[in-house]
């Protein structure tokens, strides 16, 4: 995740110190990607070294503030105008797990799929509840409203990703069933479990 660009983008609002940056980041994204304050400070130090931010001195309570430089602004605007690359997709544990499950002997792929689908559905139910709650208090300060919209969009992203995963699992399940019925399949796949408490269909 691009902590560097996210912090630079937040600093476009005005100078802030580490704890403020962390709070602003989490207000927009929930605790989906928690930042620890140490990570914030090491990132700020690196940004300062690279001339993208500069210190504004220490306030009365000993907080070291930072503001974005012109070079930093350029970096933020380049970030916003460049699409996120999909050339190197992040490692997907589930895809890897299923790819291995269909090829490693003795794994009940159907059961793997079913268990994952339940877990993903349960997570999606949680996101949906959070979203209802986030949408529940629309009134308030403009700034808070913006942050709620941001958080609600992050939740939508989680919901849509979970939905895609479930659709993919459904798709894998029906492919496995078809493969199991097809007599000349190269790979031997374990029969997907038909049902809880039902005997497996041959």
Partner 1 sequence: MSAPVAGEGSHVMTQVLHLDGVTRIHGEGATEVHALRRVSFSAHAGELIAVMGPSGSGKSTLLTLAGGLDSPTSGTVSVEGCDLAALGNAGRARMRRTSIGYVFQDFNLIPALTAAENVALPRELDGAGRLDARRAALEALREVGIDDLADRFPDEMSGGQQQRVAISRAIVGDRRLILADEPTGALDTDTGEEILALLRARCDAGAAGVLVTHEARHAAWADRVVFLRDGVVVDETGADRVEALLEEGLPG
From 26-34, 37-45, 93-101, 121-129, give the range in contact with partner 1 by CB under 8 A.
121-129
Question: According to CB under 8 A, which one of 114, 149, 150, 191 is a site residue for partner 1?
Answer: 114
Binding-site size for partner 1 (CB under 8 A) equals 24
Stretch that binds partner 1, among 9-17, 40-48, 56-64, 113-121 (CB under 8 A): 113-121
The site string for partner 1 over 146-175 (x = CB under 8 A, - otherwise) reads: -------------xx-xx--xx--x---x-
- In sequence order, which ranges of 139-195 are alpha helices (DSSP H)? 142-181
CB of 143 to partner 1, least distance (A): 24
* Ramachandran area for residue 2 (φ above 0: left; ψ -120 to 50: alpha; else beta): beta
Q: Which is nearer to partner 1, 68 or 158 (CB)?
A: 158
| 15 torsion bin: left (phi>0), alpha (psi -120 to 50), beta (else) | beta
Q: Are the C-beta atoms of residues 53 and 69 closer than 8 Å to each other?
A: yes
Q: How far apart are CA 125 and CA 106, in angstroms?
A: 32
Q: Long-range contact list for 191-197, CB < 8 A, 24+ apart? A: 191/110, 192/108, 192/109, 192/110, 192/111, 192/113, 193/108, 193/110, 193/111, 193/114, 194/110
**Does residue 121 interact with partner 1 by CB under 8 A?**
yes
37 binds partner 1 (CB under 8 A): no
Nearer to partner 1, 40 or 180 (CB): 180
| Residue numbers at the binding site for partner 1 (CB under 8 A) | 114, 117-118, 120-122, 124-125, 127-128, 132, 159-160, 162-163, 166-167, 170, 174, 193-196, 198
């Amino acid at each position: 995740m691009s902590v560097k660009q996210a912090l630079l983008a937040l600093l476009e609002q005005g100078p802030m110190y580490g704890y403020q940056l962390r709070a602003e980041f989490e207000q927009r994204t929930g605790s989906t990607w928690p930042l620890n304050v140490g990570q914030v400070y090491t990132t700020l130090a690196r940004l300062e070294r690279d001339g993208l931010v500069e210190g504004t001195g220490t306030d009365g309570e000993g907080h070291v503030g930072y503001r974005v430089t012109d070079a930093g602004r350029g970096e933020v605007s380049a970030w916003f105008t460049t699409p996120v690359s999909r050339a190197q997709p992040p490692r997907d544990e589930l895809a890897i797990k299923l790819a291995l499950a269909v090829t490693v002997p003795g794994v009940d792929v159907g059961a793997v799929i079913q268990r994952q689908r339940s877990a993903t559905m349960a997570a999606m139910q949680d996101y949906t509840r959070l979203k209802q709650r986030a949408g529940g208090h629309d009134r308030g300060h403009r700034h808070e409203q913006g942050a709620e919209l941001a958080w609600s969009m992050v939740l939508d992203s989680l919901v849509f990703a979970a939905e895609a995963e479930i659709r993919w699992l459904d798709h894998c399940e029906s492919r496995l069933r078809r493969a199991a019925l097809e007599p000349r399949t190269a790979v031997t796949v374990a029969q997907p479990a038909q049902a809880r408490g039902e005997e497996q269909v041959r």
